[in-house]
Amino acid sequence: MRKVKALQAAIVACGLALTGSAVAGGASAEALAYSCAGCHGTNGVSNGPASPTLAGMAKPVMVETMKGFRSGDINATIMGRIAKGYTDEEIDKIGDFFAKQTFVAAKQDSDSAMAAKGAKLHEKYCEKCHSEGGDAKIAAEDEVGALKGQWKPYLHYTLEDFHNGKREMPKKMKKKLEKLHKAEGEPGIKALLEYYAAAK
């Protein structure tokens, strides 16, 4: 008797699961995320140099960024066109997938003198929100972007866009970034990038 009930329960669960899947629009998180690998690397670990690593990114960061690309609020080349291909539910699934992957620091060159200067600038202007040099694991917990070990050209483009008003940022960040630009100019930004690139 109990066995029969268990089986019935399983069948009901099966029916519900099916409905859920149909409503969600079909494609699994894996299937959606695998499509990204050609530009962002297998499981989102990018071989660089300009496309960022997505592995380990906090889901809210991914969702906000994808929606920003989709609406055109975030400056983009190809990502604006690609993000328009996904529903909110699909973007959620993509966010779930990459949040579960392990971040791997990019293997890239770094100028040690500039990195040393960058470390100080980071401490002064960025550390408050991007703790421990923008460490990826902590960034994921704090739901901010990873900096340490992320690809240099990508961070450079992103900082350029923030600075030029082509990408929105929190008020606090805007103030800090403006101060940094005023005090240090482009060499300051370059030093920061070398610091983030120094992480192995």
Partner 1 sequence: MSKFTRRNFLKATGGAAVAATALTASPFAIGGASKKVVVVGGGMGGATCAKYIRMMDPSVEVTLVEANKDYYTCFMSNEVLSGYRSIDSIKFGYTGLGKHGVKVMHDMVTGIDADKKMVTTAGGQKLSYDRCVVAPGVDFKYDMIEGYDAKVAESIPHAWKAGAQTVTLRKQLEAMKDGGTVVICPPVNPFRCPPGPYERASQIAMYLKKEKPKSKIIIADPKPKFSKMGLFTEGWTKHYGYKGNGQAGGMIEWYGTPEGADDNVIQEIDASTKTVTTGFAEYKADVLNVIPPQKAGKIAFAAGLTNDKGWCPVNGKTFESTIHKNIHVIGDSSIASPLPKSGYAASSEAKVAAAAIVAMLSGGDAPHPTFVNTCYSVIAGGDGISVAMVYGYDEKAGKITKIKGSGGLTPGRDKQDEAMRAREVEYAHSWFENITADTFG
Angle at 127 between CA 49 and CA 144, to 5 degrees: 60
* Long-range CB contacts for residues 158-163, cutoff 8 Å, separation at least 24: 159/189, 159/192, 159/193, 161/74, 161/75, 163/189
Per-position x/- string for 92-131, each x denoting binding to partner 1 as judged by CB under 8 A, each - no binding: ----------------------------------------
Per-position x/- string for 168-187, each x denoting binding to partner 1 as judged by CB under 8 A, each - no binding: --------------------
Q: Which is nearer to partner 1, 6 or 116 (CB)?
A: 6
Residues 6+ apart with CB under 8 A from 87: 25
Q: Which is nearer to partner 1, 79 or 169 (CB)?
A: 79
Shortest CA distance to 142 belongs to which of 129, 155, 126? 129
Q: Which residues bind partner 1 (CB under 8 A)?
A: 3, 6-7, 10-11, 13-14, 17-18, 20-21, 25-28, 30-32, 34-42, 46-51, 77-78, 81-82, 84-86, 90, 153, 157
